[in-house]
């Protein structure tokens, strides 16, 4: 009897348990497609359809907004306690860690505003005049607040270089750390270090550089063919050399010399060839909001999804804020599944994004546990 007990215990120790078996099995096509979708939704409580999609693995991430485009329209953020309850309701049904993102850059671009009870984060422009240590502390404070609420992704910092006197939607809004690559790299990476130390994933944006854009990509496609320089890539080069732990967000910007047909966010030439092959980035790439006017005008949802995936984006971001559709998450899911079924997107392509996303989540969870 004693020998039998020892054998049983040994087998129990050697054989994988339910969790190990679940984590080692190959993901389904539906799971891999869902992991690539990050979407916004309306309300201070998660809609039933969104909760169901999260529970089924058809949404891999959500993005939160404090307001809609219509004056007084409340989206997701009311107070710290309310926001924490919202996120818990989502994570509690998610089969895997759900990515929960905000744009918390500082200054005007803060979804977590002091008037709603959150930490007052200065603008990137203001942080550009501070020391690295001061900026790192600010990133850490903002990150601690986000992590305590349940936010695990900050779509920041902006590493665009200010190249023009008028910079709609960027420099004019105080979103740029400065004009020189050394200063911007130093301050932006200090802010990112603070976020990461607090357990929040940062995202460098907007690749390959929006600093010389004379138009706001929320509304129309900027053309930087004559104004963009290779110096705008230097913050990314430095970040990658340091072992960048987060994501890279690709901009809706046009440069004829990089791709004569498509904007960067939808371009294989920019995402796969320049960012991945030439600069060596093998981590997660997230598109900018695919509802923005720069790419949405003249393109169907299906075309945007197809081009974004073929370009090499791992996560397709749909803010669902510029225009609202309560079924948008399902439409994106069905569009991507259709591409897979018809053979336009292979399982191998999905698996590549799945591995990157899962590795990023795993590293995040390990850093939080340490």
Q: Which residues are catalytic?
A: 218, 288
259: Cα separation from own chain's centroid = 23
CA dist 156 → 75, 197, 223, 297 (Å)? 20, 15, 23, 26
Q: Is-contact 161 207, C-beta < 8 A?
A: no
Backbone phi and psi for residue 337, each to the nearest 5 degrees, phi listed first:
-60, -35
CA neighbor of 352 nearest in space, from 265, 235, 271, 251 = 271
10 Å CB burial of residue 1 (0-12, 13-18, 19+) is exposed
Nearest-5° Cα angle at 111, 105 to 117:
110
Q: What is the DSSP letter of 278?
A: I
CA neighbor of 285 nearest in space, from 341, 325, 240 = 240
Q: What is the DSSP letter of 123?
A: P
268: Cα separation from own chain's centroid = 19
CA neighbor of 358 nearest in space, from 316, 301, 311, 315 = 315
CA distance 201 to 147: 10
SS (H, E, C) 312-327: CCCEEEECCCCCCCCC
């Amino acid at each position: 009897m004693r020998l039998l007990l020892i054998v049983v215990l040994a087998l129990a120790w050697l054989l994988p348990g339910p969790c190990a078996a679940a984590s080692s099995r190959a993901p389904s096509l539906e799971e891999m497609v869902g992991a690539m979708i990050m979407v916004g939704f309306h309300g201070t409580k998660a809609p039933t359809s969104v909760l169901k999609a999260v529970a089924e693995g058809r949404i891999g991430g959500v993005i939160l907004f404090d307001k809609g485009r219509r004056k007084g329209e409340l989206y997701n953020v009311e107070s710290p306690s309310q926001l924490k309850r919202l996120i818990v309701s989502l994570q509690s049904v998610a089969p895997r860690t759900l990515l929960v993102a905000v744009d918390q850059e500082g200054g005007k671009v803060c979804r977590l505003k002091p008037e709603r009870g959150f930490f007052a984060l200065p603008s990137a422009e203001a942080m550009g005049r501070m020391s690295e240590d001061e900026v790192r502390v600010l990133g850490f404070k903002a990150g601690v607040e986000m992590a305590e609420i349940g936010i695990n992704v900050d779509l920041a910092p902006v590493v665009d270089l200010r190249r023009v006197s008028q910079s709609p939607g960027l420099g004019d809004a105080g979103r740029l750390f400065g004009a020189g690559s050394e200063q911007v790299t130093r301050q932006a990476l200090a802010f990112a270090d603070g976020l990461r130390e607090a357990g929040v994933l940062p995202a460098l944006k907007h690749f390959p550089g929006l600093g010389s854009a004379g138009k706001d990509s929320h509304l129309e496609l900027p053309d930087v063919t004559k104004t963009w320089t290779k110096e705008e890539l230097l913050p990314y080069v430095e970040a990658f050399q340091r072992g960048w732990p987060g994501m890279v967000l690709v901009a809706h910007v046009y440069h004829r010399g990089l791709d004569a047909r498509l904007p960067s966010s939808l371009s294989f030439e920019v995402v796969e060839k320049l960012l991945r092959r030439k600069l060596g980035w093998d981590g997660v790439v997230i598109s900018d909001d695919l509802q923005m006017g720069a790419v949405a005008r003249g393109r169907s949802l299906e075309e945007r999804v197809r081009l974004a995936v073929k370009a090499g984006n791992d996560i397709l971001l749909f803010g669902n804020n510029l225009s609202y559709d309560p079924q948008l998450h399902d439409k994106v899911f069905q569009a991507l599944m259709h591409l897979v079924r018809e053979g336009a997107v292979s399982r191998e392509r999905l698996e590549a994004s799945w591995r990157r996303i899962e590795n990023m989540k795993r590293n995040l969870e390990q850093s939080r546990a340490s």
